[in-house]
Every structure is written in C-alpha cells, then in structure tokens.
Amino acid sequence: MSARYLTLPVTPDLAGREVDFLLRKTLGLSGTVLRRVKWLEDGITLDGTRVTVRARVKEGQTLSVRLTVPERTSGVAPAEGPLDIVYEDGDMVVLNKAPGVLVHPGHGHFDDTLGNFLLWHYDETGDESDFHPVHRLDKGTSGLLVVAKHPHAQEKLKNQLHTGDFRRVYLAVCDGCPEPPEGVIDAPIGMAEGSLVARCVRPDGLPARTRYKVLEGGPRSLVELELETGRTHQIRVHMAHIGCPLTGDFLYGTEDRSLIARPALHSHRLELAHPVTGERLTFGSPLPEDMKKLIERRITMGKNEKRFEVIHQESSVMSASSLILRDTVTGALYLFVQSGYAGGLTPLLGADGRPLVGHPD
C-alpha cells in the first residue's frame, strides 16, 4: 500500500530550527496529527533517518512526515460499489454523489455507502488512505462532496467550512417561487418537537443563514442556494419556512414520487483551498436528469409563461401545488392546480361572473 508523505527541503533560512517548529509553523501540522505519526518508524525523518521533534535541522537536509497511517481506524469496511470521481490526488477526493446513497455507514447500512465504496477503491489502487469525510450530504441529495484522505487534510478542509475559503452552492427545485427573488434566509434551526429526525425554525435554535437566488421562477422554481452555516437539513428547512418547500420533500413538503423520488436538491459547485498546497480549486456538477425533468415538465402556460407571477401561496392552507397567479399583462387572476405532471389554469371569477383583476381580497 502506498503512503502519503509531506517533505520540506531545509533552506538556509530554516537551518537550526527545531523539527517541531517546522512541522507546526511551516507545514501547518497540528499536535493531534503529529501524535498519530511520531511513533511510526518513518513517521518523522531527516534524510530518511527517524528523529524526534526536538532535533534541529541543517541546511540541505530534507524533513519528511508521514500523513497516512498503516492501519485504518475509521471502522468502515471496504465494499465494492459505484463511484463517480470528479477529482483525486494524494490528499483528497471529490465525488459526484448519486441520490439515494448514504455517505456514512450507519444502522442498516454497513456496506452500501460512499465510505465503503471509497475504501474499496483505495484498496484496488494500492492506497492506504482511510475514510475522512469533511462535510455531508443527505441521502436524497445528489452532487459534489469532498473527502479527505488523511487527518491533516481533513483538519485543514474542516477549518475552511463556513468561511469564504469553502463555498458550497446548491441547485434546488421548489414548489412555488420565493419572494423576493433573491435574498438571505436568516432563521435559527433546532429540533422539531416530537421528532427524532425533523428540524424546524425556532427562536432557541442554532444560527442558520442561507443565501438564495431564483434562476427560473414559476409554480415550480429553480433556485440557487449557498450555505453560510451548515445545520442539518438547513436548505430544506429554510425553503419550507418561506413557504417554498423542495419538490418531493417527504419531510418538509409534499412527497410525490410520480414527480421525483427524493427532495430536489443538488450540490452543484464546490470552491475550496487545497489542504496542502493552498491552491484554489473549483468543481462543478450539472443538474441531474430527474431535476431537469421537473423543470422541463412544469405546466407550460403557452409561450407567454413568464407573464404569470405567483401572488398567493399558503402552505398550511393551500398545498404547494395550488397557487393563485396573476397575468402581468392583463391583471387577470387564475387558480393553478397541479397533480402529477398534469395541471391547468382556471380563471377566477367575481360574483358578477366577470374575471377578477388585481389581487384577491
């Protein structure tokens, strides 16, 4: 199995320094990482000879530290399974996750997760790396996910989370259209009473902020979202909170497997600094087919679809697929009711039988 080492040539300005100083200050390794490897024969070496962290270096020497360890400690068992690898090097791997696949092994899922599949891939390629996840995606969410190959890379990447160095941009299809079309949802999230799984917006919850922008509006809208915090189910909870739950969300909206078999959420773009080199990296994943179909199969209101705007939606009273629309040209009001892929517009009439115009009372 191949190991990953980090090396540092000793230049004149570094000569005379203690190994501990160079490992921590120059290479940026933490005490936790060093404690894992310093007991290994090749954990910390100078010109191939094992040294302690108190040794002092000389110009021209090469300091080396081992980043991976020979024995895996994650407890994840390798298992063969499909992987869509977007990027891989000695420190990290970026995956394009399929919907319906768990990231971590857990109850009832011990050999069918990305963690299992990734360790199988490492074994097949002679890589001794272990499973070091940096962030997570819900089972139903598709798209980009970064996994570290060793503890040092995991620490560096996790420290970037919720900062400008690590950007996570999602695409979602929601029922209804957020208003205003661009903004920030700043609403604390906590556990929903009576549930071990569901979250909700509540005053005593943890701070949560989500930026959103409507890319294509309508009775069903395509929205771009960016996380500023990383609460469980954050996007799903926030979108439901503003009255536009994700299409297909069984927990926070309305499940309709004839439309899509999961919440319509996709990790679309990742931007981060490489954990070792510091290089800025950007990765993208296009909208998957099941979400494309939601947009393509929206009820088309003729060539003038964009003339209609959503002016009334109450999730607690009216289902997310029942909306009041206004024709922006004539002002006429319509009731839009959708069932599966089918649906249609019904003009709203006043007591005198004439079309209502403007906003309903």
Confirm if 176 and 320 have CB atoms less than 8 A apart: yes
Average pLDDT, the chain: 89
Active site positions, annotated: 138
> How far apart, in whole angstroms, are the C-alpha atoms of residue 79 and residue 162?
32
CATH architecture of 85-291: 2-Layer Sandwich (3.30)
Q: Which residues of 148-176 are buried (b: 16+ CB within 10 A; e: fewer)?
A: bbbbbbbbbbbebeeeeebebbbbbbbbb
> How far apart, in whole angstroms, are the C-alpha atoms of residue 232 and residue 189?
8
> How far apart, in whole angstroms, are the C-alpha atoms of residue 295 and residue 26?
50
Q: What is the pLDDT of residues 132-185, one digit of tens each?
A: 999 999 999 999 999 999 999 999 999 999 899 999 999 999 999 999 999 999
Which one-letter DSSP state was computed for residue 299?
P
CATH T-level topology, domain 5-66: 3.10.290
Which one-letter DSSP state was computed for residue 25?
I
> How far apart, in whole angstroms, are the C-alpha atoms of residue 177 and residue 166?
28
Q: What is the pLDDT of residues 23-68, one digit of tens each?
A: 999 999 999 999 999 999 999 999 999 999 999 999 999 999 999 9
Q: What is the pLDDT of residues 293-348, one digit of tens each?
A: 898 765 444 444 455 666 775 543 333 356 777 777 677 787 766 443 334 567 77
Greater confidence (299 vs 218) lies with 218
For the chain, the domains span 5-66, 85-291, 299-347
Confirm if 174 and 181 have CB atoms less than 8 A apart: no
Region of residue 38 (phi > 0: left; psi between -120 and 50: alpha; otherwise: beta): alpha
In 3D, which of 123, 102, 122 has the Cα closest to residue 111?
Answer: 102
* Residues comprising the chain, all counted: 361
Full-model pTM: 0.80
